[in-house]
């Protein structure tokens, strides 16, 4: 017997709907390579309907006092916590991620982040009112921007959905969210949960909407005249296309794009800890993380020792099916991503050496072995471009200046880390590294209170923190005559 694929649907104005023209796309479980669901391939009519619903709901949602929006978000966090096992199961099927790690490393931060933004809703800070011109009092209002068109990526479908909708809703905006076409299932389940909370508390149905589809669907959302803001997490190519489209009607844009995080290891670092933590931060989620520790720069005096230890750590790292509790990561997300990662290894220059891995694992699903590549030069393709897979490259450097030059010598500027026992050196490096985040003697931890976002081709705008919250607001000056 064959199991009929599950049918996913859009969530528009409080209702689950098929695409208006009935088109669908297959959704594949990357751990098996088999179709497990179909999702709407939404077109202009679906986007129009979702935008109309969000636009209609906006005035009532905007005009709620912050305490009421906080109440909704706290209720959403509670509801997600109560449905955690359902979300974990769906997300694992969505992505092939290990069940145990999804349970421990994704759901708790998601719930915490929603609760953080629930609190932020009641703490919109601004300059105090005052008289800056004789006879006049000025005040500053912070207001929601309006309808937000949001496009989430496939590497963390649930968590990135939270990073999108939580600050937007907390600030008083309404949302039309599109998940990746390869990972829509958990976002559709989130729509069921969020929609249930909105209905229970009597709020407008169109506050939160989900539209499934492909790149064309995303383009239609960004180009639509209703949204005041487009927020996209994705590739640099996607980001430049979004920025160009949004420029036509001067739409606000929030972009979190790729990364190529340098991991600078000095000779005085605790090498054992560095190797252990870097392997974890490089291979977690199959390296499909914009902040992954995938580009190591290590001082020449400890280079060989480090490479040997990292290759052993890679060999000891396990990938496999979601229900195997011993695995660190699951498959790559899709067949195209497997082809991309393998292509980087196939095209390595002659001077590069594969110290570990460098091959597909098994013939079912999209698994790739933990890989270490040494002997690289700064202008090599694999050093300059984002692999987005379980591949860690290693280069050597001679001194601090060369380390900085190599670290900064890429087009990305999202995250970085420095490994040293020298406090002054760590402070110098944190100043000189041109990245939105610098970790010292660690790599990849995130907290809701601190901003996440990059420079250069990694995009602009911040996720998380009060800064991320403020990105979803606009500032208005109000001046009144005292006469």
CB 130 within 8 A of CB 137: yes
- How far apart are alpha carbons 185 and 179 in whole angstroms? 9
Q: Which of 91, 106, 256, 355 is catalytic?
A: 256
- How far apart are alpha carbons 274 and 394 in whole angstroms? 13
- How far apart are alpha carbons 253 and 56 in whole angstroms? 22
CB-CB neighbours of 206 under 10 Å? 26
Whether 256 is catalytic is: yes
- How far apart are alpha carbons 238 and 247 in whole angstroms? 14
CB 456 within 8 A of CB 435: no
Sign of the dihedral through C-alpha 331, 333, 336, 340:
negative
The DSSP symbol for 287 reads G
> What are the phi and psi torsion angles at 139 (to 5°)?
-130, 160
Q: Which of 223, 290, 386, 470 is catalytic?
A: 290
Whether 91 is catalytic is: no
> What are the phi and psi torsion angles at 26 (to 5°)?
-75, 145
- Please compute Rg for the chain using Cα positions: 23
Q: Which helix (H) or strand (E) holds 475?
A: strand 473-481
The residues pairing with 342 across neighbouring beta strands, listed in sequence order, are: none
11: its two tokens? 């969530």
- How far apart are alpha carbons 191 and 39 in whole angstroms? 14
CB 230 within 8 A of CB 427: no
425, burial (CB in 10 Å: exposed 0-12, middle 13-18, buried 19+): middle
Q: Nearest to residue 283, comparing CAs of 271, 273, 293?
A: 293
Number of H helices, E strands in the chain: 16, 23
CB 10 within 8 A of CB 213: no
Distance of CA 394 to CAs 2, 246, 303, 310, 416, Å?
A: 46, 38, 8, 10, 14
> What are the phi and psi torsion angles at 448 (to 5°)?
-60, -30
- How far apart are alpha carbons 218 and 236 in whole angstroms? 15
First to last CA, the chain: 82
Distance of CA 106 to CAs 155, 182, 233, 274, Å?
A: 12, 19, 18, 24
- How far apart are alpha carbons 444 and 60 in whole angstroms? 39
Residues tagged active-site: 256, 290
């Amino acid at each position: 017997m064959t199991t009929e694929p599950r049918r996913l649907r859009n969530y528009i104005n409080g209702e689950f709907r098929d695409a208006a023209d009935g088109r669908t796309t297959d959704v594949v479980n990357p751990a098996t390579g088999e179709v497990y669901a179909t999702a709407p391939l939404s077109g202009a009519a679906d986007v129009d309907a979702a935008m109309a619903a969000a636009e209609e709901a906006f005035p009532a949602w905007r005009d709620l006092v912050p305490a009421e929006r906080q109440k909704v978000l706290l209720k959403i966090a509670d509801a997600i916590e109560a449905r955690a096992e359902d979300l974990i199961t769906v997300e694992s099927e969505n992505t092939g991620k290990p069940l145990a790690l999804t349970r421990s490393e994704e759901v708790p931060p998601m719930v915490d982040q929603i609760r953080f933004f629930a609190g932020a809703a009641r703490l919109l800070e601004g300059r105090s009112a005052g008289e800056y011109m004789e006879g006049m009092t000025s005040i500053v209002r912070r207001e929601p921007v309006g309808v937000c068109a949001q496009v989430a990526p496939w590497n963390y479908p649930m968590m990135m959905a939270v990073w999108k909708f939580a600050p937007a809703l907390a600030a008083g905006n309404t949302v039309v969210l599109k998940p990746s076409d390869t990972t829509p299932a958990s976002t559709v389940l989130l729509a069921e949960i969020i929609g249930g909370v909105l209905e229970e508390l009597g709020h407008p149905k169109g506050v939160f909407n989900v539209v499934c589809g492909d790149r064309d669907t995303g383009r239609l959302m960004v180009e639509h005249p209703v949204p005041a803001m487009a927020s996209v997490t994705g590739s640099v190519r996607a980001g430049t296309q979004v920025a160009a489209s949004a420029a036509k009607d001067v739409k606000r844009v929030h972009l979190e794009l790729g990364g190529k995080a340098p991991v600078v290891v000095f000779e005085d670092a605790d090498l054992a800890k560095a190797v252990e933590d870097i392997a974890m931060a490089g291979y977690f989620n199959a390296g499909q993380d914009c902040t992954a520790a995938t580009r190591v720069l290590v001082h020449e005096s400890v280079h060989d020792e480090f490479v040997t230890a990292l290759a052993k750590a890679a060999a000891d790292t396990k990938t496999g099916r979601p229900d195997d509790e011993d695995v660190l990561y699951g498959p790559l997300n899709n067949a195209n991503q497997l082809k991309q990662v393998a292509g980087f290894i196939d095209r390595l220059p002659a001077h590069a050496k594969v110290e570990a891995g460098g091959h597909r694992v098994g013939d079912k699903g999209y698994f790739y072995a933990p890989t270490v590549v040494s002997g690289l030069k700064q202008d090599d393709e694999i050093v300059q471009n984002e692999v987005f897979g379980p591949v860690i490259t290693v280069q050597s450097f001679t001194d601090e200046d060369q380390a900085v030059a190599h670290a900064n010598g890429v087009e990305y500027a999202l995250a970085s880390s420095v490994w040293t026992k020298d406090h002054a050196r760590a402070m110098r490096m944190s100043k000189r590294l041109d990245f939105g985040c610098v970790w010292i003697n660690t790599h990849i931890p995130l907290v809701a209170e601190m901003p996440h976002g990059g420079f250069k081709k990694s995009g602009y705008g911040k996720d998380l923190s009060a800064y991320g919250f403020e990105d979803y607001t606009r500032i208005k000056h109000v001046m009144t005559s005292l006469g």
